[in-house]
Amino acid sequence: MKKSKRIFRVLLAMLLVFIMVMAGCGKKADSKGSTAPSSGSSTTGSSSSQSSGDSKDSNAPALHKTPISEMSFEGAVYGGTLRVGNRFSGVNNIGFPFTMATNSCWEQINACPAIETLARYNDKGELEPWLAEKWEIDPEKLTMTIKIRSGVKFHDGTDFDAEALVWNLEQSTVYGRNELDAVKEYEIVDDTTVVLHLSQWDSAIEENVLYTCGWIVSPTAVKKNGMDWACANPVGTGPFVFEKWERDVGVYYNRNENYWREGQPYLDRVEMCIYSDVTALSAALETGKIDVVIPADASVAKAWAKRGGITETGPTSSMTIHSIIFPSNNPDLPFYDVRVRKAMAHAIDTQAIAELMSEQGGDYHAITQMALPGSMSWDDTIKGYEYNPEKAKQLLKEAGYENGFTIPQYVIASNNLLKQCADIVAAYLADVGIKVENQNNDMALIAEMTAGTGKQLDGIVWFCTTVGNNCTSAYAKTFTEGANTYATITAKPDDMVKAIKDAKAARTPEEIADACKRMVRSNYENVMIIPVAVQYNGQCINNYVHNFSFVRHDPNDWYPESVWMDKH
C-alpha cells in the first residue's frame, strides 16, 4: 500500500486539480410571480411490473434526497429561468435517442426537457405510467399491450399515436440495439393501442420497452430532416421546446405552451449551462448565475453547504459504475489471455483510485464487482482482486509476458476526470511492466471503436455504465453477440451466455436474482471488465428552487415539468 501511496503523490504533483465542469451561461431572469395551481395534473394507469426485491444495501450510506412522492406544489408560481450548471462536455447527441451513448447519461440528461419516456420510476424503483397510460404483459401468450395517452403532440405539432410509438421502438433495432430482440411483431390495434408479440419470453421486456428504449421523438421531424439534424435538434413531447445548442457552452429550451399535462410546466425557460472549470462553476452558483449544479463535486457541495445552500447526495436504486474495459475477444492481443486480465486487476489499486476521485471532487466508492451493492445482482461471496503487484507480475510471467508489453489507452479528451484516472492506471500498470500510451480522443471516435463501427479497438477504454437492481439489460448489451454496446470487443464465456439467457427466460424474482448473480460472477472470474468505483450523484440547489428531482432512481432522470422557483 505504501508503494500505491507513493504513486499517487507523484501523480498528484503532476495533475491539475480535478475538473469536470464547463463554460458558463448568462445572467438571471426574474420570476413572473403569478400563482400556479396547488398541484400538478395527476396521472393514472396500471403497471404490471413485478417487485424484484429490495435493492438497498443495509451497509450503504443513507439516501439524502427528497422523494418524488414528497414534491410540493403549494404556493407554486409560474415563470423564471432555471439555469442548470453541469459538466457535460463532449456531448454529441441530444435528440436522437436510438444512438445516444448507452454507457453515459450525459446525453439523456441534456435531452430531458424535450424528450420523455413511456414510463418513469417511482421512489421504490417501480415503473409508473407517463406517455404510456397503462400496459399489460401476458407471459403465457407472449404479448405486451400498451395503451398510450390520447391528445399528446410532438413539438412540431404532429400526433404521438400508435404509429409513432411503433416507429420509435423499431428504430432501436434498426440502429443495432438488442434490448427489443424478443419482439417479433408490432400490431397496431387503434390510434392509442399497440400489441407487441414476442418470439420468446424476456423478463426485462417491460423496462426495455417503457424506459430503456422508450425515449420518444417525432418520426416526422426525423424523416424530414435526417439523423444528423435530429442529433442536434430534439423534437419530443416534453415540457420544454428546444431553442438552440451551443456546443460545450449550453443547451437552451423554452416553455411548451401546448404541453399535455395541464398546468405544467411552471418555468418559462431551462438552460443547461456547461462549465469547464470547477472554480468558475462554484463562483457561478454563489453569485446566482446558475441555480443548481448537477452532478455536484464534493468541493462545490461542501462550499455550498457552508453558505446554507441545499446539497443532496447518496445512493439510488440505479447508479453509474466506472470501470476499465478492453478487447478480451481478440486472439491477437494480450487481453485474450485471462491471466493477463487478472494481472491487470491485481495491478490496479481501485480503493486508492476511488479515494482520490472523491478527494478531488465527487462521491465515489470502490467496488469489487459489476453490480449495485445491496441489489438482487450483488454476490456477497465476491471479495474482489486485492492490490498485489507481485501477483500481477507472476501472472504476466505465466502468460508469457515476463517483459511486459505496450498498449494504448483511449481517453475522452474533454473528460478531465477520466484523463486523470487514465494517468493513474498507466502508472500502476507500468509498475508491473505494462507500458501504457495514453491517447486523447473524441467521444464519438471511442464509441465507434467499442461498437465495432470504426477503428478496431486495441487497448484500454474507461467504461461507464448504469446498473440497477436487475443487471440483465446492462450485461446483455455488453456480452450478447450482435449487441452494439461493447459486445463486439468482449469475450463471451459459456457461463455468461447461459446466465443472460436464463435471466431473460426467468419468471420469478428468485430466478432472475440467481441468473444475475451468475452473470456478475462470470465477469469477475473471467475479468472482461475491471470495476473501479460506483458514483453517488449529488446536486447543489438554491433554496428558492423547488422539486428539482435529479437522479432519484436512474442517472438519466430529472423531471423539469415539476420544477418551480420562488421570486428572487
Alpha-helical runs (H) found in 120-184: 162-174
d(CA 318, CA 471): 10
d(CA 520, CA 513): 11
The sign of the torsion formed by the CA atoms of 160, 162, 166, 167 equals: negative
Give residue 344's pLDDT: 97
Query: How far apart, in Å, are the Cα atoms of 333 and each of 105, 338, 455, 460, 504?
Result: 31, 11, 15, 11, 32
d(CA 139, CA 201): 6
Give residue 15's pLDDT: 41
Query: How far apart, in Å, are the Cα atoms of 529 and each of 307, 406, 490?
Result: 41, 19, 9
Give residue 78's pLDDT: 96
β-pairing verdict for 250-255 and 34-35 = unpaired
d(CA 525, CA 139): 33
- Record the pTM: 0.75
**116-237 matches 318-535 in fold:** no
Give residue 415's pLDDT: 67
Give residue 315's pLDDT: 57
- Could you count the other beta carbons within 10 Å of the beta carbon of residue 105? 23
CA dihedral 257, 260, 264, 270 (to 10 degrees): -60
**Helix%, strand%, coil% for the chain, nearest 5:** 30, 20, 45
Q: Return the CATH fold of 116-237.
A: Dipeptide-binding Protein; domain 1 (3.90.76)
Length of the chain: 568
Domain boundaries, the chain: 1-34+68-114+240-307+539-568, 116-237, 318-535
Cβ contact 84:270 at 8 Å: yes
Mean pLDDT, the chain cut into blocks of 10 residues (568 residues total): 49 39 34 34 32 33 51 91 84 89 70 95 85 96 98 98 98 89 97 97 93 95 96 97 93 98 96 84 88 77 77 67 92 97 97 82 84 91 96 98 94 74 93 93 74 80 82 88 77 96 93 96 97 83 86 71 90
CA 566 to chain centre: 30
Query: How far apart, in Å, are the Cα atoms of 247 and each of 94, 108, 232, 386, 449?
Result: 11, 15, 10, 42, 23
Q: Judging by beta carbons within 10 Å of its beta carbon (0-12, 13-18, 19+), is residue 231 exposed, middle or buried?
A: buried
Q: Return the CATH fold of 318-535.
A: Dipeptide-binding Protein; domain 3 (3.10.105)
The distance in angstroms from the start CA to the end CA of the chain is 51
The CATH class of the 1-34+68-114+240-307+539-568 domain is alpha beta
Closest CA to 267 of 510, 28, 455: 28
Give residue 496's pLDDT: 97
